[in-house]
Amino acid sequence: MIEIKNLKKFYGERTVLDIPELIINDGEMLALAGANGSGKTTLLKILGGIIKASEGSLSVSENILYMPQNSYAFRGDLIKNILVGGADRSKALELLEKLELSHLADKKAKSLSGGELQRLSLCRVLSKKCDVLLLDEPTSACDAKGAELVIKAIKEYQSESGCTVIMSTHSPMLALNASDRLIILNGGRIESDGSPEETLANPETQWAKSFAAGWKI
Ligand SMILES: Nc1ncnc2c1ncn2[C@@H]1O[C@H](COP(=O)(O)OP(=O)(O)OP(=O)(O)O)[C@@H](O)[C@H]1O
Ligand SMILES: [Mg+2]
């Protein structure tokens, strides 16, 4: 279980995250939505231990994997880029196959397109085991087919491992197809929290209503 109490993040005078209480149960698949700058990445980075909260407490497993919003490639081919994460070769090949990157396996990772690189970044993360998987906009660079592959791979990883998945997204498809809970952030605060279908069909607040309308649901 992940437990957050009175969590705040300040940058100078600005409060960019303010969460009085949040409990995320083991095995939950949680989507974090909200406009640019609403605090999604900040929350994921705090959960992943990349940055520290300014105030409050957080209890979370130490066995966490984090996929950043901006994908990156190391020097070398795709397989080498996955093995960097500590995977064995057969696992790397299996993931490349699953994310339809096998035909590029021996190419330089730095030469990949944005969507290909994002799928490689996911392969690197999914090659390892964890209790908590943090994914920052895992389908943002993907076309429709790529997004489907990513969603399928995340769901399979979750059902095999039982881990908790927390992913930020601007994609209604990801929120509806791969999550059992949707939290909408607004200015660093939780505006809405519930099942994706319910939240999008019956938004709790006026703000969440206009946000859901923007998603054309
Ligand atoms: N290092 C920093 N210094 C100052 N302000 C920061 C810093 N990092 C983030 N912020 C601010 O915190 C706010 C929340 O940023 P965050 O990256 O969490 O947003 P986000 O919801 O992930 O947005 P996006 O959808 O664009 O990825 C933004 O207004 C951002 O400008
Ligand atoms: Mg972000």
Q: What is the pLDDT of residues 24-65, one digit of tens each?
A: 999 999 999 999 999 999 999 999 999 999 999 999 999 999
pTM here is 0.96
**Ligand 1 pocket member 151 (CB < 6 A):** no
Contact 169, 18 (CB under 8 A): no
Domains in the chain (CATH in brackets) are 2-214 (3.40.50.300)
Tokens of residue 98, six digits: 């699953």
Contact 16, 9 (CB under 8 A): yes
Which range has the worst mean pLDDT, 38-47, 188-197, 204-213?
A: 204-213
71: CA distance to ligand 2 center in Å? 12
pLDDT band at 216 (very low <50, low <70, confident <90, very high): low
Q: Which atom of ligand 1 is nearest to the CA of 17?
A: 14
Hey, which residues does 4 pair with through a beta bridge? Answer: 22, 58
- Helices 89-98 and 144-161: crossing angle in degrees, nearest 10, is 140
Q: Is the pLDDT of residue 217 over 60?
A: no
Residue 92, CA distances (Å) to 32, 89, 205 in order: 28, 5, 44
Mutate to test the pocket of ligand 1, among 14, 38, 167 (most ligand atoms within 8 A of CB): 38
Of all residues in the chain, the percent with pLDDT exceeding 70 is 99
pLDDT at residue 43, rounded to an integer: 98
